[in-house]
Amino acid sequence: MKEYHKLVRDEIPRIIEESGKRCEVTVLTEEEYLRMADRKLQEELNEYLESGDIEELADLLEVLRAAAKARGSSIEQVEEIRIRKARERGGFEKRLCLEKVWTPEEDPMLLEEEKLFEMLDWNAPEEIQELGRRKAAGSGNIRCFLQPVFPKYSKNVWTNCALILAGKTDEELRPWLKDLLRWLQDMNWPGAEIIQERLEAFQDDEAFRQAFGTCMLEAVDTNDEDWAENLETVRR
């Protein structure tokens, strides 16, 4: 197991888990985020100084405009790269700090979490599912309920996961709005209608509009007409 304690892009946890590993992240406070951002700035600056790679300039767009020009490039080229990386790996809006990464063999929580999702499986008796929902309601780990994909438990737990998320507060869900909006890519997915109703009730219009705009651009760029149409149902 490797420990990092570093600021990472929003989609890094998803990418790690899709590779077959697991990770732990925490949501930073504003003070911690500012300190981590400064550390990340220095880290990326050091990488740029070592490599001279134009992609590093994308991470330092605001402070390296002069460096781009000095290297015979243009801010437009750097901006194109920044946009591509943000779409593939996310930005830093969620203030995620990567703490640990486990392989399946190293995962200390695997057995406990597997038992929880076994309870949330729609094939389990309803009283067991209800017990699982109550157990999960007190969990502060929002991300693990966002369309989880496990070899044994996949979409068969999504309905219960959606119900669990629907019971969370706006404050708890705010960092994960884009992930919730991505649940609307296919309204046939289990839990999609539950998530749609929860998004319609979300009160922070400014945070919602920002997340909505990002997802709508992603839908348009990927020619996902169904997703764009579904997003329109929750437009503010």
| Among 221, 127, 206, 218, residue whose Cα is nearest residue 181 | 218
Q: Contact at 8 Å (CB) between 100 and 21?
A: no
One digit per residue, the tens of pLDDT, for the chain of length 236 reads: 888 888 888 899 999 988 989 899 999 887 887 677 677 778 888 887 888 887 877 777 654 554 456 457 777 887 888 888 888 888 888 888 888 787 755 555 555 677 888 899 999 999 999 999 998 888 778 888 999 887 777 899 999 999 999 999 999 999 999 999 999 999 999 999 999 999 999 999 899 999 999 999 999 988 999 999 999 999 98
Q: What is the DSSP string of 90-125?
A: --STT-EEEEEEE-TTT-TTHHHHHHHHHHHSTTS-
pTM score of the predicted model: 0.62
Q: Give CA–CA dist 79/67, Å, rounded.
A: 14
